[in-house]
Structure 1
Amino acid sequence: MHHNYTSKLAYKSSQMKNLDIRIAGKYQLQRRIGGGGFGDVYIGTSLDTGEEVAIKLEYVYEGPPLLEAEADVYRLLAGGVGIPRVHDYLFECEYNVMVFDLLGPSLEDLFNFCDRRFSLKTVLMLADQLLYRLEFIHSKNIIHRDIKPENFLMGTGRYGNQVFVTDLGLATERRAIQIKTDPTGASKRHLIGTARFASINGHLGILQDRCDDLESLGYMLLYFLRGSLPWQGLTAKDHAQKEDLVLEKKKTISTKDLCRDLPREFETYFDHIRSLEFDETPAYAYLRKIFLNLFAREGFERDNVFDWTILKYLMAHDEEKSCEKSR
């Protein structure tokens, strides 16, 4: 990202904090709730309906409008389960603006809320939904390329148990004929995605396909079960060396070591991903089935009770009891 652009965006955001801002006379901007690689996300209100929405702002600068490409991907995926709806795409006072569904907390937020460890039951319920999401996205010839816990949000209200896919800013179309460039990474590498969860191809900055999204998803599931990944905490002299060490670890670790002390199904998952030819279609149903079989074998109930559901219930229950005591 251009440093100049980042500082401009930070300056503009600070300017906007205390102002009564309306966008195109249709939306009232409220508070900032987050930011992606190229924009800030705010809660806003539709002045027509009073409905709360999410509003992503991209400050216009010399370069391609990335937010418009992201809005196009959302439109392409419109109607899919777990895909936020884009309400509007506008231009207002030096900003490109995308208005979309307001969602709940991210999986990273909930992971922190649950003391950075999810139970096997929660991870398997998430895996089932996430495999469906990726299968749908891939069926539309889109590769996400930035699978990480921050980019999956739970819904709200009646969609409270549904996982939504967000931050499609790095998403790209699958080519009709895939050409895999130099796999040795001999040319200058450029990481696409987030180092912790990126696939090996993501580290090499070369063309990614469906297997890469599934590789990143696998790393995310292990992270949820263990609290960290084998390449976290590696010491390096700088950021570039750290990335090199992470890549080396991912390339050399066996599926057996990667999934050590976890149910065999996780090793089976990675074995399948690693067995795929670059542009081969993953066996999504097979991967869901191995996790569903594990779910059944463990005697878990398909009741949509996640770790955070229990924690929130217990916290509310404790609050109730302390209120009774103080009466």
Structure 2
Amino acid sequence: MTRGSSISSFFKKLSVKGSRGKISRSSQQKDEQIESAGSGAEQIAAPPAPVDIAKDTKITEASTEAIQQGAELENDSDGEDTSGPAEPVMIKEMDGGDRPPVSKVTIEDFDLLKVLGKGSFGKVMMVRKKDTKKIYAMKTLRKAALVKRNQILHTKTERSILQTIKYPFLTSLTYAFQTPDKLYLVMDYCGGGELFFWLKKDRRFSLQRARLFAAEIVLALQALHVHDIIYRDLKPENILLDLEGHIRITDFGLSKEAVTGAGAAGGTKTFCGTPEYLAPEILENKGHGKAVDWWSLGTLIYEMLTGLPPFYDQNMQRMYDKILNAPLRFPSFITAEAKDLLTGLLTRKVPDRLGSGPTDAEEIKAHPFFKEIDWDAVYRREVIPEFKPPNRIGSMDTSNFDAEFTTEKPMDSVVTTSLSETQRDKAQFPGFTYNADTIEEVSGS
């Protein structure tokens, strides 16, 4: 279903492993996001001595091993604030103030229709709400697995962003609930599957197709940046298509709230992401900000146009060295405007990178590559995509997902590993329950 990845694309925290070659992009496997916690709020042991991975670049032995195994690496040496989510953007926050009563939803309110993906933390299923007959994607996560893998903070961050940000090109939350052993997130169902599914099938996209995808992604990232959120995990696996062919960014577990700058100032030092898409400043542990998303955008656009990321190598350390030092090369069919855009986005010096200035995304939107784009029409989803995913049976179609999973019987699996008393103390999710049907929307940008 996917390739070199963080824990799982649409299926965040499901750790369906794999990538291409040694980090192969096989249909049955995914690499997990890189993680090695340091002195952050959710602390693991301090990392061992560093090992050189490229000139003037160091990474801990634990980190290198974790990356090679496809594990998630996050070195929270900057002591990230985990006190709570950023101010909500589009809807009222449920965890404080004068809030309306929440009508609790449970697993019994849904018909389980298909398995869409699964892994070590849980699975994602297509479900239908019994009273409204609406189709959703339900992510189930086992608390014991989250505690064991130090994913509590990531899960809370994702839950916060899914609820608070409402935007045409971002996946949003409709319901959330929990049991003593599990968490449940009910979100938009995007029947077109992952962008990676289509990139793997078509090998590369036409210029027009890639340009519209890129424009919608720019608007999605801008919506996050306006509210001081950096995404940090842009890649084809984390971009879904609806049945009209428009994109939705999903999987916000590596996102970071309260980031005010493009670079280290007002940023963070957390080492996290997916190997092929890591910005140089993350590899060099110099601190990073919003500009890392624009580097990843450049990597993604390059991949959509050519079929591979610009610095891809099956050897992880060679790939990191290329990200830091190799010249940017283009196939002969890449247009001059695309070359100029990608050169700007893939500039290693953060202050010189396209999008790193005070206007953020506006720099990118003004580039000649996007001269044909009507940004207001894109926002209103009025631009008809060149490609529309096939839809054989209507809203319940799962043909754009991996048959390895969709042929399994959907069920709410019984948890066989119970939480210890200590784990239960860690796995507290106050205010997790959410029902969008009971929330009054608030006007916002």
Q: Please, what TM-score do these two structures have when normalized by structure 1?
A: 0.71
1:230, distance to aligned residue in structure 2 (A): 4.2
Instruction: Determine which structure has greater relative contact order: mean sequence separation of CA pairs < 8 Å that are 6+ residues apart, divided by chain length.
Output: 2
Q: Which runs of 5+ in 1 are unaligned?
A: 11-21, 182-188, 237-241, 297-301, 314-327
Given the alignment, which residue of 129, 145, 159 partners 2:216?
A: 129
Cα-to-partner distance string for 1:24-43 (whole Å, 9 max, x where unaligned): 42223332212589542111
Alpha-carbon contact 1:57-1:95 (below 8 Å) kept: yes
Which residue does 1:45 correspond to in 2?
A: 128
Residue 153 of structure 1 aligns to a residue whose secondary structure is: strand
Q: 1:141 to 1:107 in 2, by over 3 A?
A: same
Aligned length: 272
1:56, distance to aligned residue in structure 2 (A): 0.8
Alpha-carbon contact 2:271-2:283 (below 8 Å) kept: yes
1:252 matched to 2:329? The reply is no
Which residue does 1:272 correspond to in 2?
A: 344
1:265, distance to aligned residue in structure 2 (A): 2.2
Which residue does 1:153 correspond to in 2?
A: 240
1:261, distance to aligned residue in structure 2 (A): 5.0
Given the alignment, which residue of 181, 184, 198 partners 1:110?
A: 198
Given the alignment, which residue of 37, 57, 62 partners 2:140?
A: 57
1:77, distance to aligned residue in structure 2 (A): 1.1
1:166 matched to 2:238? The reply is no
Which residue does 2:157 correspond to in 1?
A: 69
CA distance in 1 between partners of 2:185 and 2:174 (Å): 8
Q: 1:83 to 1:263 in 2, by over 3 A?
A: same
Q: Supply the AA of the counterpart residue of 1:27.
A: F
Which residue does 2:429 correspond to in 1?
A: none
With 219-228 and 24-33 compared, the bigger mean Cα shift is at 24-33
Q: Please, what TM-score do these two structures have when normalized by structure 2?
A: 0.53
CA distance in 2 between partners of 1:195 and 1:152 (Å): 17
Q: 1:39 to 1:196 in 2, by over 3 A?
A: farther
The CA RMSD over aligned residues, in Å, is 3.6
1:284 matched to 2:361? The reply is yes
CA distance in 2 between partners of 1:138 and 1:37 (Å): 31
Which residue does 2:334 correspond to in 1?
A: 262
Which residue does 2:304 correspond to in 1?
A: 224
Q: 1:228 to 1:180 in 2, by over 3 A?
A: same
Given the alignment, which residue of 151, 166, 171 partners 1:84?
A: 171
Residue 112 of structure 2 aligns to a residue whose secondary structure is: strand
Cα-to-partner distance string for 1:189-213 (whole Å, 9 max, x where unaligned): 9851111122223334554322111
CA distance in 1 between partners of 2:246 and 2:15 (Å): 36
Residue 108 of structure 2 aligns to a residue whose secondary structure is: coil
1:168-187 equivalences under 5 Å are: 168-176=252-260, 180=264
With 222-231 and 93-102 compared, the bigger mean Cα shift is at 222-231
Residue 41 of structure 1 aligns to a residue whose secondary structure is: strand
CA distance in 2 between partners of 1:27 and 1:162 (Å): 26
Q: 1:65 to 1:128 in 2, by over 3 A?
A: closer
Identical counterparts, % of pairs = 18
Q: 1:282 to 1:146 in 2, by over 3 A?
A: farther
Q: 1:35 to 1:180 in 2, by over 3 A?
A: farther
Q: 1:37 to 1:111 in 2, by over 3 A?
A: farther
Q: 1:196 to 1:142 in 2, by over 3 A?
A: same
1:287, distance to aligned residue in structure 2 (A): 2.0
Alpha-carbon contact 1:76-1:140 (below 8 Å) kept: no
1:12-31 equivalences under 5 Å are: 23-31=106-114
Alpha-carbon contact 1:58-1:67 (below 8 Å) kept: no
Alpha-carbon contact 1:74-1:86 (below 8 Å) kept: yes
Residue 324 of structure 2 aligns to a residue whose secondary structure is: helix
CA distance in 2 between partners of 1:49 and 1:144 (Å): 32
1:176, distance to aligned residue in structure 2 (A): 4.7
1:65, distance to aligned residue in structure 2 (A): 5.5
Which residue does 2:371 correspond to in 1?
A: 293
Residue 109 of structure 1 aligns to a residue whose secondary structure is: helix
Cα-to-partner distance string for 1:62-91 (whole Å, 9 max, x where unaligned): 34263332110112212x121223111111
Cα-to-partner distance string for 1:63-121 (whole Å, 9 max, x where unaligned): 4263332110112212x12122311111135111111111121111121232x111111
Cα-to-partner distance string for 1:276-302 (whole Å, 9 max, x where unaligned): 429643542342232223779xxxxx9
